[in-house]
Amino acid sequence: MDFLKELGIKEKNYGASTGLKWFDTTDQGELKVVSPVDGKQIAVVYQSSTADFDKVVEKADEAYKYWRTIPAPKRGEIVRLVGEELRKFKKPLGTLVSYEMGKSLQEGLGEVQEMIDICDFAVGLSRQLYGFTMHSERDKHRMYDQYHPLGIVGIISAFNFPVAVWSWNAMIATVCGDSNLWKPSSKTPLTAIAVQNILANVIRANELPEGLFSLVIGRGSTIGEKFLTDNRIPLVSITGSTVVGRHANEVIAKRFGKTILELGGNNAIIITPNANLQMAIPAVVFGAVGTAGQRCTTTRRLIIHAEVYDKVKESLLKAYQTVKIGNPLDENNHMGPLIDKAAVKSFVDALQKVKEAGGKVIYGGEVLEGEEYKSGCYVKPAIVEAENHYEIVQEETFAPILYLIKYTGNVTKAIEIHNDVVQGLSSSIFTDNLQEAEEFLSANGSDCGIANVNIGTSGAEIGGAFGGEKETGGGRESGSDAWKAYMRRQTNTINYGSKLPLAQGIKFDI
């Protein structure tokens, strides 16, 4: 395939790089990367050793100590050049994202566009790493705070957004003066290798230090654990399951490291009697079936008022019949495959559990068969009538299952149902009633990190801080002031007088 050659993907690829140098370790096992699109093997990746990891971290630390001395606007210029290089490779990289992960080509290209957008955002940010000044209570004293580079930022990314989430972290960290060390999902390592090859063009052209952008591909039990325990990595940003995040947070906290956690989501949309259904239905369908239900922000629960429940259900059944499922590289298709057969099993098992709990599958749920679906990873998205308290509804199933939940009464009741899960990532309400919208956004409303009105739960812009509360982890990536997590804060007080007054009026005469 031409796009693999263009991105420097070979039949067999090494799994550890300091930016320009690839380590030639081959004795740690192979990752055979199979596309969920057609079941064909794309390439092989040799997994990294712990010795590779130590060498890469050493280089990353050296790069950090140099990079922190470079003025932030000049660091921003390098990020601008990264964005320009990504523009050149948008089509082949977006195609690889689609083929390796299984999302539609439009979503694959959109993911690379997110990378470009965050580069543009970070360039502007490089001139806006602001601190604050405060008035001192002491004569002839000036007090202010400022932010300094932190060190190596470890980035552990998930398969569903194999490149965009890395860029959210890496581009912000780079302008903040940090170096970056990336462990991608073992399910989608080729996109990471491709990005590393693209970055190498910028590194060479600008004589940047090795280790500024590094990569290690390997087992979670070895390489992953090294990320968590290594004191040379002060911050680890993790996108993944709540189980993974809980373990990581406990281990990193023991060494007083910092984490950014973006974990599970059980996202809901509330539809009130005052909703514009012409807007709501497309938002629900895209939120539920986009990326085959494998977004952190996928719409999983639809909380519908009894007055409009039947109308919404009927509209959804009609809309789902128009969803085209097939090869995601065909732009006529809306939905591609799940990432692998294990994901298909989770989909099937979840539907069985909800039926046992008393739920009713009213659309879809089948594993698709036939030549077009020979990888065994294609499913028909499911619509299920359920109740919020069902154990399986309380969980996040990373698959296209939409639970319809009926409510009666006012919007306060809908919000209670909405908040009655342990996750707290993304949320939305569809209503043209100002009071309902404002209550949803108030302190009494959605308990999620993202709360929307009259748009869906997925498709966040890079300009807003991304992340959630409760078991979603509490971290924030990308926009707003999320940059502060990648820096260390320092308060400074300067005495420009000739006396030494103490705070709080304390006297200490000697």
What DSSP letter does each residue of 214-247 carry, written as one string?
EEE---IIIIIHHHHH-TT--EEEEES-HHHHHH
What is the C-alpha to C-alpha distance for residues 290 and 111, in angstroms, rounded to an integer? 13
Instruction: Report the distance separating Cα 294 and Cα 305, nearest Å.
Output: 27
Q: Which position has the token pair 């090294």?
A: 226
Q: For all residues of the chain together, what is the average pLDDT?
A: 97
Q: Phi/psi of residue 58, each to 5°? A: -60, -45
Distance between CA atoms of residues 459 and 453, nearest Å: 13
Mean pLDDT confidence for 174-192: 98
Predicted local confidence at residue 68, as pLDDT: 98
Look-up of token digits 């698709």: 368
Residues 6+ apart with CB under 8 A from 9: 42, 43, 96, 190, 193, 194
d(CA 275, CA 280): 7
Give yes or no for residue 459 having a pLDDT over 90.
no
CA distance 10 to 221: 26
Token pair in block for residue 413 = 């009741």
Strand partners, 494: 142
- Span 68-83, pLDDT tens digits: 999 999 999 999 999 9
What are the tokens at 433? Answer: 């009633």
Residues 239 and 156: beta-carbon distance below 8 Å: yes
Q: Which band of pLDDT confidence, cut at 50, 70 and 90, is reported for residue 166?
A: very high
pLDDT at 461: 92
320-376 pLDDT, tens digit per residue, is 999 999 999 999 999 999 999 999 999 999 999 999 999 999 999 999 999 999 999
121-156: buried (b, 16+ CB within 10 Å) or exposed (e) per residue? bbbebbeebeeeeeebebeeeeeeeebebbbbbbbb
| Residue of 193, 144, 153 whose CA lies nearest to 173 | 153
For the chain, the farthest-separated pair of C-alpha atoms sits apart, in whole angstroms, at 90
Strand partners, 335: 325
Q: Is the pLDDT of residue 510 over 90?
A: no
pLDDT tens across 191-246, in order?
999 999 999 999 999 999 999 999 999 999 999 999 999 999 999 999 999 999 99
Say how many C-beta atoms besides its own lie within 10 A of residue 51's C-beta: 12
Q: Are 14 and 25 in contact (CB under 8 A)?
A: yes
pLDDT tens-place string over residues 280-312: 999 999 999 999 999 999 999 999 999 999 999
Q: Mean pLDDT over residues 367-386, rounded?
A: 97
Locate tokens 């919020």: which residue? 388
pLDDT over 90 at 260, yes or no: yes
Q: Is the pLDDT of residue 383 over 90?
A: yes
Per-residue model confidence (pLDDT) at position 42: 98
* Nearest residue to 279 via CA among 455, 426, 429: 455
CA 156 to chain centre: 10
Q: In degrees, to the nearest 5, what angle opens at C-alpha 399 toward C-alphas 454 and 33?
A: 125
Res 509 pLDDT > 90: no
pTM of the model: 0.97
Tell me how far apart the alpha carbons of residues 282 and 448 are, in angstroms, rounded to a whole number: 22
Query: For residue 471, which of 290, 255, 299, 249 has the smallest C-alpha distance?
Result: 249
Q: What positions carry a catalytic annotation?
A: 262, 296
* Rg of the Cα atoms in the chain: 24
Instruction: Give 434-483 as a DSSP string.
Output: HHHHHHHHSTTS--SSEEEESS-SS---TTSEE--EETT-S--EESTTGG
Mean pLDDT of 99-103: 98
User: Which two structure tokens, joined as six digits, stand for 6?
Assistant: 């263009």
Which residue type is seen at 469? E
